[in-house]
Amino acid sequence: MTAPTHATPILAPYHQDPFTLLAHHILDHHAADLSRVVVLLPQMQSASRLRHCLLDVARQHGHTALLGPHISTLRHWIERTPANLRPTHGHVLARHATELMLAESLAEHPGLLGGENPWRLVDSLLQLFDELTLHAVDLPDDLEHFTQQLLTAYGVTSKVSGLGREANLVHTLWRAWHQQLQAEGAADANSAYVHKLAASLDHTSVDMHFYLGDGLDLTPVELAWARRLAGQGRLTWLIHGAPDSSVQPTDYHPDAPLISLFNKLEILIISNNNIDNITYFINSVYAPPATPLSLRAQAFAQQNPVSPAQDSLRVFTAGAPEQEAQAIDLQIRSWLLEGKTNIGIVTEDRRLARRVRALLERAEVAVQDDVGWALSTTSAASVLERWLQALEEDFACLPLLDVLKSPFVFADQERTGRLATVYRFEQDIILHENVMRGLARYRKHLSYRQARLPASFAASAQAVAQLLDQLEHAAAPLLLFMAGKRHKPEALLNALWESLHRLGITEAWATDAAGQSVLRELQAMQHALAGRTLRMDWTDFRVWLARTLERANFFPAANNASVHVLALRQTALMRFDAVVIAGVDAAHWPGSADDSPYFNSAVRRELGLPTPHDTLTRRYHDFRRLLQSAPQVLITVCREQQGQLVRASPWLEMLQSFHQLAYQHNLEDTTLARLLQDTRTQVFRSDTTAVPQTMTYPRPSVGAALVPGTLSASAHQQMIDCPYQFFAARCLRLEPVEALRERLQKSDYGERVHRILSAFHRGQAGLPGPFTPVLTQESRADAERCLNQISHAVFAQDLEDNFEHRGWLKRWLAVLPHYLDWQIERAQRWQVADCELDMQRAYPDIELKGRLDRIDHDTLSSAIIDYKTGAVLPTQDEVESGEAVQLPFYALLAQASAQPVTRVEYVAIKSEKISSGACLEGEALTHLAHATEQRLITLMQALRSGAPLPAW
């Protein structure tokens, strides 16, 4: 390759380290004074490695330390230059202010929206305007002229309605935006940058020498700046790659971006046949498609009987996303054990990156994520989002609990006590009362529960009430703005600040890295409002806030890790000891290049803007370069995502097909797949105690401290059904957390029926009833009215939560007449004595406890009723055989009552009738209750003595 003397580049072939060549060149030519050298890199992630390369080369020259050179990116260097803006550009608008200005322009031209979300248009238009500015495209003043220009580019001869709207939208807002900037004496950041770029050379010392790395992404104005500097003999290009001279810039080929750059720089390309075998192999894979892949593969294999790629390129195909992450984790740890200290993970899949980082950190491997992640996904930003969601949904419990459990909320309060109060609020009010939203409803059910449990719940009730008061106080500033009216954004932001301050969030954010980033974004939003007249309703404000946090990236602090996670575009000029190219599926590699909704490729080319072809070939080039960025490269792909087959990247498929055709092997890494099956490669705990290997069923013994002190009927039944389940749930207390249900289930329906009948017969606080007259046919109508009132009151809360619950109410109302018929008949012998009665009975090794649905009395004895609303009831045989223990258990509980229990029964409450189920009475009840008691005492004694529990 040759070029004019003033533009002679440093050409680093794909297999060489460009920074090593650059370091030698800098020290060979500028060792006397590196302070006059500026190195401009495509991104700063590689700056530290360049410094190490410079120091290594300096030591080879006998130097032990270095001062300089300056290392920066082109944009950062230019923005630091002292060049002043033109007088008409008094100040540079921040991004937030630029967006607001464009939103104001959209508000002044409502006819241009066409039903589109204005903020979505702001995003896409600013992206287009940035491109137009950076590529020095100035739209004509006349709309007709611009429309004709687009018609020509689109290749149509008459106006099209969609095209006319596109031209009108872009042209009108482009002119309005620039006129507003000029009227305010301001400049957007990109216009200021372009101006500074043009003026910077007049303010740069003539003895400064610049080295420009890569250069594939330079815009026309940046390229003109570089060419002018090179014409003065003050710039040297660093170019990574050796392009095929037969490739054209318009070809879909990884060398096309290099060819385009060389043409712009007027560098003559001369094919270089002196390349290593792996470069020759990859060039053959991705050669221009004039020759079929199979013929290229056969010809290559004839010249190279042994694959040059077998030791450096490997592919792992995973069957599931977790397996792919585990394979990458295992490979990274293996490389670290080999002594590699510069390992890259390059991926476009952020979910995969997060999972790999979690696995490596579990293995105590430090990872530096150079991509960062959306600020909105951090816990600091999430608490803000969940707080606003809670307010918008009338203090909905799910987002509200997330807020209350966050370490950022009320951080000045003692954490253990605060979380205990939150726990009581969640368990007692939200879950037990099944209340899903509404401060008033939380308070109402808090009072209900306090009335039922006046002594035991008093302290908790007071703490929960104070918590609800704090939430109401914190919400007050924002609730004023949620009525749909439009307000000044300053007022909305001020209300947000005040609300967050009352929650203690802003103070907690100040001590957290991600929280500080959120604070900076909110402050930037506030500063951007100066001079703006735009008014927002709550929805507009929420969109503005959400997109701000979504667009901002959070970068964790640098930790000097050996493993770096990077995006594809961050890898220019990079070199690694080993690299994983992860998640190489077609959705990400190449992915979609249609980022802008404006103009097709032909129009963008006519205007001088980058086309989708330019974007895709740049990614293609980056992928091809990555294949030689390290001595060892692992490519991973997952063939199934969420039950759907996923196609691998066509670039990967071409590589594997070529190698398969040439060497009957597709580079698949079977060793890594085998190691993944070996449990010794997995990191799952920190201790080193061997796990005993056994094929027998578990028979655990329960330590005395784990034996429950009380036993309910359901726990007793669980012990009989499955001792091992009893051990897990009752001894180890591994019961799942009760879930809040948006829709009623059969168990919820049954609980409400129990409550209704208890209120009807004996009364309950906060409900109509009880019905005190004797229930007869004469009083039946009054009883039905009372029962209806109670029923509607009990189901009223459910209807507030979900209108679909009216079906459950309707179902119960259909049962109600049958229940009254059954109760009138039963009242001929039995009278209701009590309902929902909590009882206990103590034994030497255990205390029994339970709640009896209902106790009836006649003149001499008692009867216990257990209501059943479900479809399946224990059979008489199951009860009499001792397998279903609930009825005899209740008889044992009630033995100390005033009248002896002579009958225990299930009453089935179904839509078509009320009927008795299994029943025990007389001698059968006495015998079975005694047998159940003796078995229980024996089991508990064995449990406490360490007898093993089987899992049958």
The candidate with the shortest Cα–Cα distance to 592, out of 621, 612, 569, 609, is 612
Q: What sections of 429-563 are H helices per DSSP?
A: 439-452, 458-479, 489-503, 505-509, 513-527, 538-551
Please tell me the distance from the alpha carbon of residue 9 to that of residue 258, in angstroms, as a whole number.
13
CA–CA distances in Å: residue 86 to residues 77, 89, 186, 187, 472: 19, 5, 10, 10, 52
Which pTM was predicted? 0.75
Q: In the structure encoding, which two tokens stand for residue 310, read together? A: 């077998």
pLDDT of 201:
82
261, 213 Cβ separation under 8 angstroms: no
Q: Is 481 strand, coil or helix?
A: coil
The CA-based angle 147-152-153, given to 5 degrees, is 95
Contact 648, 586 (CB under 8 A): yes
Return the number of other C-beta atoms located less than 10 Å from residue 383's C-beta: 26
Distance CA 622, CA 240 (A): 10
> Is residue 39 a contact partner of residue 22, using CB atoms and an 8 Å limit?
yes
CA distance 382 to 403: 9
Angstrom distance (rounded) from CA 534 to CA 492: 12
pLDDT tens per residue across span 858-915: 988 999 999 988 767 899 999 999 999 999 999 999 886 778 899 999 999 887 788 8
- Alpha carbons 751 and 745: distance in angstroms, whole number: 10
**DSSP class of residue 5?**
G
Q: What CA dihedral angle connects 656, 657, 658 and 659, to 10 degrees?
A: 50
Instruction: Specify whether the backbone of 668 is left (phi greater than 0), alpha (psi in -120 to 50) or beta.
Output: beta
pLDDT of the residue at 175? 86
Contact of 907 with 867, CB cutoff 8 Å: yes
Instruction: Determine the 3-state secondary structure of 200 from DSSP.
Output: helix
- Alpha-carbon distance of 707 to 364, in angstroms, equals 37
The pair of three-digit structure tokens given for residue 40, joined into one six-digit string: 């401009």
- Give CA–CA dist 672/826, Å, rounded: 74
Tell me which DSSP letter residue 523 carries.
H
Q: Quick check: 332 and 683 in contact, CB under 8 A?
A: no
Asked if residue 862 lies in contact with residue 856, where contact means CB atoms within 8 angstroms, the answer is yes
Residue-level pLDDT at 365: 92
The rounded distance, in Å, linking the Cα atoms of 432 and 449 is 10
- The ranges of the chain with pLDDT < 50 are 1-6, 85, 87-88, 739-740, 742-743
Q: What distances in angstroms separate CA 66 from CA 32, 48, 50, one per listed residue?
A: 11, 13, 12
In SS3 terms, 328-367 reads as: HHHHHHHHHHCCCCCEEEEECCHHHHHHHHHHHHHCCCCE
Residue 770: is the preceding peptide bond cis (ω within 30°)?
yes
Other beta carbons less than 10 A from residue 786's beta carbon: 19
CB 716 within 8 A of CB 892: no
User: What is the 3-state secondary structure of 240-271?
Assistant: ECCCCCCCCCCCCCCCHHHHHHHHHHCCECCC
Helices then strands, each counted (H, E), the chain: 35, 23
User: Which residues are registered as beta bridge partners of 39?
Assistant: 71, 211
- φ, ψ dihedrals at 836, nearest 5°: 50, 55
Euclidean distance between CA atoms 482 and 539, whole angstroms: 8
3-state secondary structure labels for all residues of 648-696:
ECHHHHHHHHHHHHHHCCCCECHHHHHHHCCHHHCCCCCCCCCCCCCCC
Joined together, the tokens standing for residue 659 give 């190698």
d(C-alpha 102, C-alpha 104), whole Å = 5
Give me the helices (H) in 375-434, please. 379-392, 397-404, 415-424
Would you give the end-to-end CA distance of the chain in angstroms?
79
Neighbours of 395 (CB within 10 A): 21
Q: Which residue has the tokens 């003397």?
A: 5
pLDDT in tens, 200-251: 888 788 889 999 998 898 999 999 999 889 888 899 999 998 888 888 989 9
Q: How far is residue 378's CA from residue 514's CA, in Å, rounded to a whole number?
A: 7
Judge whether 408 and 512 are in contact, CB under 8 Å: yes
- Count CB neighbours of 230 within 10 A: 22
Residue 928, token pair as written in the block:
């079975």
